[in-house]
């Protein structure tokens, strides 16, 4: 009888040490949702303005140190977002903004003109996989308006570099989420 007493005492001690709240918490745990996770049959378009640019007096400056760090942060945020296509205007600052993610994902960056005609058609015909589009303070809101088919966004402030617009498309339904990065 004594040889069973110690194991029973240990079992009783273990059971009495765990609170009922801990058990409830475990049963109610919900896995987090990953932004950018592919949801069938929809897809997501991530739109950003280029990161901070250098002030070198030209029309086509490189990113500055803060901008290069932001480009890396963007790649970290979108690492698990299921990006299958990357589009950029043909400026150094936009190409440099997507370069870390393109390199990591081994994706080519497709160049689109700033008149937005071609990229609007491409996005309208897009059906599978998530897309990243980098533009400018004036083109990014215009492109969102064209895809949404409504005038909802105005040009971004010249000091505004940290918005990540997530346009989720599910058939004819479209929603937009604005994140900071």
Q: Which residues contact 4 (CB under 8 A, 6 or more apart)?
A: none
Tens of pLDDT, residues 62-114 = 999 999 999 999 999 999 999 999 999 999 999 999 999 999 999 999 999 98
pLDDT of 3: 54
Q: Which of 120, 119, 33, 134 is nearest to 83 (CA)?
A: 134
- Domain chopping of the chain, boundaries: 43-180
Facing residues of 175 across strands?
A: 168
pLDDT of residue 10: 46
The pTM is what?
0.76
Q: DSSP alpha helices (H): ranges in the chain?
A: 2-17, 20-27, 65-78, 92-105, 117-125, 139-148
How far is the C-alpha of 58 from the C-alpha of 176, rounded, in Å?
34
Evaluated on CA atoms 30, 72, 103, 143, the torsion sign reads: positive
- Per-residue model confidence (pLDDT) at position 36: 52
What is the pLDDT of the chain when averaged over all its residues?
Answer: 83
Which H or E run includes 108? none
Considering only CA atoms, which of 43, 94, 42, 89 is closest in space to residue 71?
Answer: 94
The pLDDT profile of the chain, 181 residues, written as one tens digit per residue, is: 555 544 444 444 444 444 444 333 333 434 444 555 544 468 999 999 999 999 999 999 999 999 999 999 999 999 999 999 999 999 999 999 999 999 999 999 999 998 998 998 898 888 888 999 999 999 999 999 998 889 999 999 999 999 999 999 887 788 899 999 8
The CATH code belonging to domain 43-180 is 3.40.50.1240
Strands, sheet with 83-88, edge to edge from the N-terminal-most edge strand: 109-111, 83-88, 130-135, 43-49, 163-170, 173-180
């Amino acid at each position: 009888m004594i040889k069973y007493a110690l194991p029973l005492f240990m079992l009783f001690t273990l059971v009495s040490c765990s609170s009922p709240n801990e058990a409830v918490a475990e049963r109610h745990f919900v896995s987090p949702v990953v932004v950018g996770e592919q949801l069938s049959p929809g897809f997501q378009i991530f739109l950003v303005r280029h990161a901070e640019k250098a002030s070198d007096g030209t029309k086509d400056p490189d990113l500055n140190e803060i901008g290069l760090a932001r480009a890396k942060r963007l790649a970290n945020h979108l690492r698990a977002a299921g990006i299958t296509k990357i589009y950029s205007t043909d400026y150094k600052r936009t190409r440099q903004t997507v370069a870390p993610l393109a390199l990591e994902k081994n994706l080519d960056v497709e160049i689109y003109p700033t008149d937005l005609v071609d990229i609007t058609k491409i996005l309208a015909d897009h059906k599978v996989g998530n897309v990243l589009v980098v533009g400018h303070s004036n083109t990014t809101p215009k492109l969102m308006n064209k895809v949404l088919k409504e005038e909802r966004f105005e040009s971004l402030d010249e000091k505004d570099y940290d918005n990540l617009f997530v346009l989720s498309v599910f058939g004819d339904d479209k929603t937009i989420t604005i994140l900071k990065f």
